[in-house]
Amino acid sequence: MTDPGGERPDLPILPYARREAHVAPWDPRTEAVAARLVAMIGRRRPDLQVEHIGSTAVPGLPGKGIVDLSMESLPEGIPSIVAALHDLGFQDQPGPDPWPPTRPMLVGAVDLEGTEFRIHLHVQPIGGDMPRDLAFRDALRSDAELRREYAALKSGITGGGSVDGFRYTHSKTTWILGVYRRLGFRIPVIPPPATIGILGGGQLGRMLALSARELGYRVAILDPDPDCPAAAVADRVEVGRYDDVAAARRLAAGCAVITYELEHVDLGLVKALDDGTIPVRPGPYALKLTQDRLAERRYLEMSGAAVAPWREIGSGEELRAAAAELGLPLRLKASIGGYDGRSQVRIADDAGLAAAEAFLAGSAAAGRPMLLERELDFEAELSVIVARGVDGLTATYPVGRNVHDAGILVQSSVPAGIPAAIEAHAAALATDLATGMGLVGLLAVELFLMRDGGLIVNELAPRVHNSGHWTIEAAVTGQFEQQVRAITGQPLGATALRPGGAATVNLLGTGPDRPAVPLGTEAALEAPDVHLHLYDKRRVFERRKMGHVTAVGASPAAALDAARSAATAIRWADADEEGLP
């Protein structure tokens, strides 16, 4: 690309503003902007080949109107390129999901003829995505039908209006990757016996590790407890807290991909690992959206999902004003941390309001607001799990019907016994939410089925989920195997429920803290098609999740009866019974 006025003064680089994406006709002035920018960069760095890529590089193709430029360098040269671009006035990428420093994107804006044009500057390591990006650009330039398909896809995503920029980008993934494949570019599969790193070694990490082993992968675990449930089935355990970046880096050494089994891992730790060296799936963006209940509510509303009426609360005055506005009963929840009913207060009367104020005061001292939401009168609790692969393809499991007790899931059954239209709505909603966050892996969506047939989203979890344990025995592909397939780039497995129904009942601990010795396993396993999973936790105490029982039967009701009967047979030895057979 040449700039006929290459000696013209530099265009001033203006601040960059993130905006919602909307599709506009191609503007030929973007070519002039690109040429001026290429010349500006070339005067500082004549060693660089800078290419105009993206939709504005394809005459006639509508798009967001952002001018994308790309350049390559040896990895050790990237910091000096970034410094030169900073000197020109370009800024680091804003937003919650920036490119890693190993292949950064800088941003800015210029004014040309009274119109502002936003700029993305991609600095890529040699051997990265630049050849693929150029091949995609050139294919669009030469193929009118490909341009028509791409334009129609963009218009379909935005619906003639505006959408979040991340949702716009991720919604194009499947189609774009299909074109890449036709051009000879594929996201490489991570084959066994590569090592999968798992942040968290609880029961979910244990079952994930077992599935990884069945597929021939090796497993490394990060957990603060050297005797965590996953330790017995892992090749390697790095002992460290979930905010210990040094321990996480030790975990990552020798791993081909990293995933997590819980949302309570530190976001900064995940960002530190997501530096472009090895993939982290799901990455920090999915974690950021789901570990903070306030961010999650905003994401859900931005995505068009229905949620319970809610308010962000930072003081007692705000709490009382919001309670008067929303009406009782309410739930006040910590925005970060807390699960299984912990870190929340139910407000049904003045006494509950006073307790909530005291709860809020402890959080307000740390400067962290809370979520206040109306308690809903629902017909049923549901959940749906969707898998999304590196190629953007998705697969959803049948919707499950759940029962919680004081915030802890105690049973799930499938089929959920809901109309097909509601089942389809739940699946589409989960798929849309996973696509919008660009998730690779599994997303569990907990829902309330309202008495009018509507669906309200309660919570999201970007991981394998307690309500999906039935899939191990009753689905064609269990959720843990599916997570391994997704994060390693393998094809997703079928998700259909095998004939009949299935149910899972959780095994919760009782009594004081003591060594965990299960009794009654032989009685629990007497029934046909009953499957017992014990998590090998070394200690048991009141309401701790110790295992689960899944039963498969002719119907969900029959399976639930069998699972409950088997679960009733299991108990935990008292201290004076320790060691009994």
- Considering the domain architecture, whether residues 325 and 396 belong to the same structural domain is answered as no
- Considering the domain architecture, whether residues 218 and 87 belong to the same structural domain is answered as no
- Considering the domain architecture, whether residues 167 and 228 belong to the same structural domain is answered as no
Task: Classify residue 461 by burial, with Cβ atoms within 10 Å: 0-12, 13-18, 19+.
Answer: buried
- What is the number of structural domains in the chain? 4
Distances in Å between the Cα of 327 and the Cα atoms of 12, 309, 552 are 53, 10, 42
Average pLDDT taken over every residue of the chain: 94
- Considering the domain architecture, whether residues 539 and 401 belong to the same structural domain is answered as yes
Specify the range with the lowest mean pLDDT, choosing from 194-208, 216-230, 285-299, 339-353: 339-353
Report the C-alpha gap between 567 and 193 in whole angstroms: 36
What's the pLDDT score for residue 469? 98
Phi, psi of 194 (to 5 degrees): -60, 160
- Considering the domain architecture, whether residues 346 and 429 belong to the same structural domain is answered as no
In a domain, 151, yes or no: yes
**pLDDT score of 580 more than 70:** no
- Considering the domain architecture, whether residues 248 and 129 belong to the same structural domain is answered as no
Residues in the chain: 581
Question: Which CATH number goes with the domain that contains 520?
Answer: 3.30.470.20
Owning domain of residue 442: 378-577
pLDDT range class, residue 165, cuts 50, 70, 90 = confident
- Considering the domain architecture, whether residues 339 and 247 belong to the same structural domain is answered as no
Question: Which CATH number goes with the domain that contains 369?
Answer: 3.30.1490.20
- Considering the domain architecture, whether residues 487 and 475 belong to the same structural domain is answered as yes
* pLDDT (average), residues 309-313: 97
In a domain, 2, yes or no: no
Report the C-alpha gap between 119 and 33 in whole angstroms: 9
**pLDDT score of 1 more than 50:** no
In a domain, 10, yes or no: no
Q: Tell me: the pLDDT tens digits for 93-104?
A: 998 788 889 999
In a domain, 3, yes or no: no
What's the pLDDT score for residue 209? 98
**pLDDT score of 574 more than 50:** yes
What's the pLDDT score for residue 341? 62
- Considering the domain architecture, whether residues 129 and 207 belong to the same structural domain is answered as no
What's the pLDDT score for residue 361? 86
Task: Return contacts of 415-419, CB within 8 angstroms, 24+ apart.
Answer: 415/497, 415/501, 415/556, 416/380, 416/382, 416/556, 417/556, 418/380, 418/382, 418/449, 419/453
Beta-strand pair 441-450/310-313: unpaired
- Considering the domain architecture, whether residues 45 and 86 belong to the same structural domain is answered as yes
> Are the CB atoms for 284 and 258 separated by under 8 Å?
no
Distances in Å between the Cα of 284 and the Cα atoms of 181, 258, 288, 461 are 27, 11, 6, 13
Q: Tell me: the pLDDT tens digits for 210-225?
A: 999 999 999 999 999 9
- Considering the domain architecture, whether residues 111 and 219 belong to the same structural domain is answered as no
* pLDDT (average), residues 257-273: 95
What's the pLDDT score for residue 342? 73
**Closest-CA residue to 167 (of 259, 300, 290):** 300
In a domain, 136, yes or no: yes
What's the pLDDT score for residue 2? 46
Among 119, 152, 182, where does a domain finish? Answer: 182
Would you give the DSSP letter of residue 280?
B
* pLDDT (average), residues 375-389: 97
The two structure tokens encoding residue 24: 């506009």
Q: Tell me: the pLDDT tens digits for 176-210?
A: 999 999 999 999 999 999 999 999 999 999 999 99
Task: Classify residue 332 by burial, with Cβ atoms within 10 Å: 0-12, 13-18, 19+.
Answer: buried
- Considering the domain architecture, whether residues 106 and 250 belong to the same structural domain is answered as no
**pLDDT score of 578 more than 70:** no
* pLDDT (average), residues 497-513: 97
* pLDDT (average), residues 457-478: 98
Would you give the DSSP letter of residue 425?
H
In a domain, 440, yes or no: yes
* pLDDT (average), residues 361-369: 73
What's the pLDDT score for residue 71? 97
In a domain, 327, yes or no: yes
In a domain, 24, yes or no: no
Q: If DSSP codes are grouped into helix, strand and coil, which group holds residue 457?
A: strand
Q: Tell me: the pLDDT tens digits for 11-66?
A: 999 999 999 999 999 999 999 999 999 999 999 999 999 999 999 999 999 999 99
pLDDT range class, residue 365, cuts 50, 70, 90 = low
